[in-house]
Amino acid sequence: MTLQRTKEILSDLIAFETVSADSNLEIIHYLTDFLTALGARCIQTQDATGTKANVFAKLGPEMDGGIVLSGHTDVVPVADQDWTSDPFQMVERDGKLYGRGTCDMKGFIAAALAFAETLDAKQLTQPLHFSFTYDEETGCLGARNLVDDLSERGIVPDIAIIGEPTEMRVIEGHKGCYEYTTSFIGLEGHSSAPDDGVNAAEYAARYIGKLLELRQVLKSRAPSGSPFEPPWTTVNIGLISGGVAHNVIASKAEVAWEMRPVQSSDADLVKRTLSDYVKRTLLPEMQAVHSAANITQQAVAEVAGLEPMDKNAARDLVAELTGANGTGVVSFATEAGLFQQLGVQAIVCGPGSITQAHKADEYVEIEQLELCCRMLDRLGRRMTA
C-alpha cells in the first residue's frame, strides 16, 4: 500500500516543472499543504527573489533532536535531451518509473510523504522532520539558506538522512564542491610598451600558477586511510578567458576553477593562501601601475563535503534499517555536509542510481522505491516503539 501511494505522489511531483532556473513555489505549496494536513508545523524560507523556497516541517513532540528526511525539489533541465516520453509526466514501463526527477530525487520525497501518511504523530517518541529545498543542482543554495535559518532558530536535529540516489547503499562520505570565478581588471595598452599597462591575462596566469602549486601541496595532505579516489583534495582549472588580440595588453581576464575538498581544513588552506597571495603580491603590483586595477572572486558554489566520522549515529541507524553490512563514499556532492556543519550526524541513502540522473529518460526502478519504503516503515516502527 505504501509503495502504491508513493507512486501516486511521485506522479504528482514529476508534474511540477521544477528546473533550477525556474520557481519552485508550486511544489513547495503542495508539500506544505500535504504535511500541514497531517498535523506538521511548517517553516518556509525564501530566497532573495521570493520565487524559490524551502519547507522544513516537524511531526511529533515538541522537543529537541529528532530525525530529518531530506531532499531537494529542483531538477536539471531537459532542453536538448532526446526523451521518448514527456519528461514531466511519469510513465511506468518494465518495472521502471520514467520522468525528470524520478531518480534525482523526487522518488525519495514521494516515499517520505507516503511514509508520513502512515504515522500517528501522537505516537512518535521523538520529532520527525522533513526538509525539502531549492537549488541543490546549482550549488545547494536552498540548503545553505535553510541551515542558516535552523541555526538562528536553535533547531538542531540529531540525525539527517539525505535521500540522494545511492541504490539504497549507506553512504557516509563525499567530497565537497567549491566553485569560483576569479576576475582580473588591468589596464590595456599597446603590446610594445608592456610596462605602461597592467596585463590581466598575465596576472591570471600567475594566479593559476599558485593554484597548481596548491594542488601539489594538497596531495601531501591526504588523510591517512582516506576512502576517496583520489584520496586528496583536487583542484581543476575549468575555463580561462581574457584579452582581445595578440598586440593588445589584456585589460580583462577570468579564471573559472574548482576544488573538491576531502576535509574542510584543505578548503580553508586554499582560500587563505590565495587571499594572501592576491592582497600581498598581485594587487600591490597591479595597482602600482593603475590604481583602479582589481581582482575579485565570485563564489559560484561552496558545497561542504560529508566527512566520514568514527562515531555516526545516522550511519548506524540506516545500516540497521537497511540491513547493510558496510558503508561507502561517493564522488558526487549532496546537502549532507551542510547538515554535518550544523552539528547533525548525516548519512546519504536513497532509491535509484546516480548513473540515471541528469539523463534523457531518467528513471527509478520500482524495486528501489519498495526498498526505500521498507526502510522508512522500519524507521516508523522504531520511532513509535
- Residue 36 · residue 29 · CB < 8 Å: no
> 355: closest CA among 103, 108, 87?
103
Q: Answer for the pair 96, 361: CB distance below 8 angstroms, yes or no.
A: no
Q: Are 256 and 180 in contact (CB under 8 A)?
A: yes
Closest-CA residue to 286 (of 256, 253, 258): 253
Instruction: For residue 306, give the C-alpha cell.
Output: 560529508
Considering only the C-alpha atoms of the chain, give the largest distance between any 2 of them, rounded to a whole number of Å.
81
- 99, β-bridge pairs: none
Of 239, 269, 276, 273, the closest CA to residue 254 belongs to: 239
Contacting residues for 46 by C-beta, under 8 A, at least 6 apart = 52, 53
Report the alpha-carbon distance of residue 25 to residue 39 in Å, rounded: 21
Phi, psi of 254 (to 5 degrees): -150, 140
**Among 76, 74, 34, which residue's Cα sits nearest to residue 54?**
74
- 44: β partners: 55
Residue 234 bridge partners (DSSP):
260
Helix (H) or strand (E) holding 68: strand 67-72
Catalytic residue list: 74, 136
Q: Coil, helix or strand for 257?
A: strand
User: What's the CA gap between 38 and 382, in Å, rounded?
Assistant: 19
